């Protein structure tokens, strides 16, 4: 399980600022496992999580439907929620 002892308001603000800069400058990394139709939703979920969520809320919000079943080599993507 992840534990972020320093996830305070200052850290959250830095995370949001970096996300917004990456989006503005075209540097945002889109995981290859995300279906193209869900990229916009993924960005919103990340921002919301950075603002007031945690690892568990991120995990709950990234539903399996967002992800491709297989990678480009035909290998099944491992999506774990436990």
pLDDT tens, residue by residue, 12-69: 999 999 999 999 999 999 988 889 999 999 999 999 999 999 888 888 888 877 887 7
User: How far, rounded to the nearest angstrom, does the alpha carbon of residue 42 sit from its chain's CA centroid?
Assistant: 6
Asked if 55 contacts 2 with a C-beta cutoff of 8 angstroms, the reply is: yes
CA distance 6 to 10: 9
pLDDT value of position 3? 67
pLDDT value of position 80? 56
pLDDT value of position 75? 78
What pTM did the predictor assign?
A: 0.77
Asked if 1 contacts 56 with a C-beta cutoff of 8 angstroms, the reply is: no
Higher pLDDT, 74 or 46: 46
């Amino acid at each position: 399980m992840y534990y972020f002892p320093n996830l305070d308001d200052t850290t959250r603000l830095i995370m949001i600022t970096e996300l917004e800069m990456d989006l503005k400058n075209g540097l945002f990394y889109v995981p290859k496992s995300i279906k193209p139709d869900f990229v916009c939703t993924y960005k919103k979920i990340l921002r919301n999580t950075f603002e007031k969520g945690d690892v568990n809320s991120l995990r709950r919000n990234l539903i399996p439907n967002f992800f491709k079943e297989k990678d480009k080599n035909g290998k099944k993507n491992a999506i774990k929620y436990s």
